Structure 1
Amino acid sequence: MVSGKNKGLTIMNAEAQRKLIFNPDEANLRLPLVRAIVKDIIALYENLHDRQERIEEIKNLPGSTTRDEDSVYSEELLQAELDIENDKEQLKTYEDELLELGVELEDPALGVVNFPTLREGKEVYLCWRLGEEEVGHWHSLDETYSDRRSLLEESIDNDDHNDMLM
């Protein structure tokens, strides 16, 4: 017999395996929240990149070594490294928020996300980038944002957009 605690884990695992399939209209309905999350991701990603560059600059300064506690930069290095770890955790939290919406982060620097969809019975991605008014492109699972094609040129199955177990 499954205990209440284990039963909850089984339900959570089943829900984690569930993958949403979107048609373009459904993806567009999620854009206000997705847009807000992606804006936060881009800002944090840029900040994270800047901090990593600053650490490299400090490490290359005369008198600076990563293991020398007497270095004039040791405290700044330690704080910068802690900040980077915190930023990475926050970035993961934002990515998890997108996943809860059924959306996959493709490129945190550009703000590109993918919405799973069906085209001719095969799973592909609807593709959106921050700054675009609506979802208007798609690409196959093994392609990226740079390979995307316009929805106006290709057809997406609008009838097969219900939840699908993967």
Structure 2
Amino acid sequence: MFTRYFSVEEANACIPELEKILSQLQALLKEMEEKLWKLREAKELARRQGRPIDASTFLQEEAELDFLKIAAQGHIARIKEIGAILQDIGSGLVDFPMKLGDQEVMLCWRLGEPEILYFHGLTDGFAGRKPLPPGTAGPGKGTEGREGPGPGEPGGGKH
């Protein structure tokens, strides 16, 4: 079904770039919302004052919004180029197709999480995410090779 499947390690390697892209996308989205709100307010004020609201009246504001849309589309396209699937800009939710045995699943990552620790079925979405099975993640990551807490973790280190 998918053209590319990720290992946990491959998906984790994408996180630094995705963090940058998503942070930029979230900032663009916020700026777009603010500009759109101001534009709507300005158009409403002009309408109430009987001033014309034609294409040239708010040309600069409309052009700025178009520019922001194009920039956002470029960031979204970059996520697609990586092979990831952007689920939600606001929460920074991204999925990565993966084969778990012979089953297609999605590795599930959200902005702010240091690594991928969860997956879900193709139709389950974020609400159905589950911890990765032991042995799925790479050495020193996730759950593989972890029998208990390490030094510096609660319950870990020397006693």
Give 1:78's aligned residue: 59
State whether structure 2 residue 45 is matched by structure 1 residue 58: no
Three-state SS of the structure 2 residue aligned to 1:39 is helix
Number of aligned residues: 135
- Do the aligned partners of residues 30 and 90 (structure 1) sit closer, same or farther apart at CA in structure 2, a change above 3 Å counting? same
The structure having more radius of gyration, on CA atoms, is: 2
Residue of 42, 54, 75 corresponding to 1:94: 75
| More helix as a share of residues | 1
Measure how far apart 1:122 and its partner are. 2.4
Q: Please give the per-residue CA displacement for 1:70-128, whole angstroms capped at 9, x wherever unaligned.
A: xxxx64x3222211111111111111111111111111122111111123422221111
Residues 97, 105 of structure 2: 8 Å contact kept: yes
* TM-score of the superposed pair, with normalisation by structure 2: 0.71
- Do the aligned partners of residues 55 and 141 (structure 1) sit closer, same or farther apart at CA in structure 2, a change above 3 Å counting? farther
* C-alpha separation in 2, matches of 1:35 and 1:68: 40
* TM-align CA RMSD: 2.7
Can you give the 5+ residue segments of structure 2 that lack an aligned partner in the other structure? 139-159
Measure how far apart 1:157 and its partner are. 9.8
Q: Please give the per-residue CA displacement for 1:15-49, whole angstroms capped at 9, x wherever unaligned.
A: xx972211212211111112111111111111112
Give 2:88's aligned residue: 107
Measure how far apart 1:145 and its partner are. 2.7
Give 1:161's aligned residue: none
Identify which of structures 1 and 2 has the higher relative contact order when contacts are C-alpha pairs closer than 8 Å and 6+ apart: 1
Identity %: 28
- Do the aligned partners of residues 21 and 46 (structure 1) sit closer, same or farther apart at CA in structure 2, a change above 3 Å counting? same
